[in-house]
Chain A
Amino acid sequence: MLDKVIFFFFAGVAILSAALMVTRRNAMHSAVFLITTLLATAGIFLQLRAEFIFIAQVILYVGGIMVLFIFVIMLVSLDVALHQVQFSRQKWVALFVTLALAAEVGVMLWSSRQVPGQGFLVPNAMPAGKLPANTEALAGRLFDAYLLPFEIASVLLLVAMVGAVVMAKKRT
């Protein structure tokens, strides 16, 4: 019961503020609503008992990436731009893509219901009390089976850092 209340609260906040993020005129307001969405998603992760991802989401996404976004909005945004049209004329393309994707997922959810006992709507997860310690299990898996992807990710971050500095610096 409590699980359900928490899930619907965070899911409602996430979807509502995501919709507000896409429709706001001011880019700074969009950024603030995106932060709300990311925090609500972090709440969903906590409800799924993924504590490490929850902390990584709050520190990395909200504390790191979004601060970067807000810096760039303050560097780049012109007051003139606020009075211009904020939407390109592609709403029919958007409508088509949205309907196609929604129909696809809808058919998937509906057809998975037809097989009794096999559907996506059947809960069969381990009870929360029997899960191993999340951070410990994650670290064991990350530094054992996924060590090579981990190293590649660190090289990727290094390349991204160098590339961002090279592109953002003043040309001499």
Chain B
Amino acid sequence: MMPIGYYLFLSMALFLIGAIGVITRRNVIVVLMSIELILNAANINLVAFSRIFGDVAGQVFALFIIADAAAEAAVGLGIIIAFFRNRETVLEDEMGLLKW
């Protein structure tokens, strides 16, 4: 196994790229995909620490995160489809209904 700093660095890089995507993209679907990337970066940390401590609890939590990502994607994409049917847009700065 490599020193754990390499895994932390990889995880940080993926997290930051995902954060940039969430902040700068206009398309809501791409924002949701960036959130998946962030969850995945957290998984790398959990599995790497689980390996270094020789304890599978970290992998159990990685499994829970994958289940949560599935639930989040299903609900988020349902909301996007419902919104698109009403407003004909998926761009987030055109979703200003509650803004006065």
Contacts and interface: CB of A to CB of B under 8 A. Distances in A.
B23 A141 contact: no
Given A27-B29, A69-B29, A98 B68 contact: no
Given A94-B19, A168-B78, A52 B59 contact: yes
Interface string B1-32: 11111111110111111111101111101101
Interface string A130-153: 010010011001100110010001
A60 B37 contact: no
A22 B17 CA distance: 7
**Majority-rule SS of B interface residues:** helix
Interface residues of A, number: 86
Contacts of B13: 15, 18
24 contacts: A41-B14, A50-B50, A50-B59, A52-B59, A61-B66, A65-B73, A69-B73, A72-B80, A75-B84, A84-B26, A87-B25, A88-B24, A88-B92, A90-B24, A94-B24, A98-B20, A101-B12, A101-B15, A124-B52, A125-B51, A131-B54, A157-B67, A160-B72, A167-B82
